[in-house]
Amino acid sequence: HYYPYWRDAPEDLGPEVRKAIEEGNKVLARDYQSAKDLPKVLTAALEELLTRCDVILCPSATGPAPKGLDTTGDPIFNGLWTFCGNPCISLPLLTSREGLPIGVQLVGEHGNDGRLLRSAQWLFNWADQAS
């Protein structure tokens, strides 16, 4: 998606994006093609897990939201779900000592966004009543 920007005006991209593109360009085509099968394998495992529960509850990030608007923080807990195409939602249910939001993430079954959103609404209402 970023190739046209990289080709035409790489200086317009931020340093993190440029670095990611440079690292990606080092990946061999055969390794890239092999990696494209991973979402299918992971999605099958997640589908099995999600037959036993409505959603997966996990952290949104490694800590509270960062101060300022320079970054949204480390996406480490979101990458797997994005990679597999599973719907996910983060709710700012907790607060750090500094008053910054701490997110809780819910992950749903592939193609079942409605159940994810209903579960998120239930959790949000429950947390609101508990506070």
Per-residue pLDDT tens digits for 83-92 = 888 999 999 9
Give the SS3 label for residue 112.
coil
Separation between Cα atoms, residue 126 and residue 61, nearest integer Å: 21
Q: Is residue 22 part of a domain?
A: no
Q: Is residue 66 part of a domain?
A: yes
Token readout for 15 is 């340093």
Domain range for 98 is 53-130
Output DSSP code: residue 11. Answer: G
Question: Which pTM does this prediction carry?
Answer: 0.74
Q: Is residue 45 part of a domain?
A: no
Q: Is residue 93 part of a domain?
A: yes
Q: Is residue 16 part of a domain?
A: no
Q: Is residue 36 part of a domain?
A: no
Residue 16 has pLDDT above 90, yes or no: no
Token readout for 74 is 């480390």
Placement of tokens 């999600």 in the chain? 50
Structural domain tally of the chain? 1
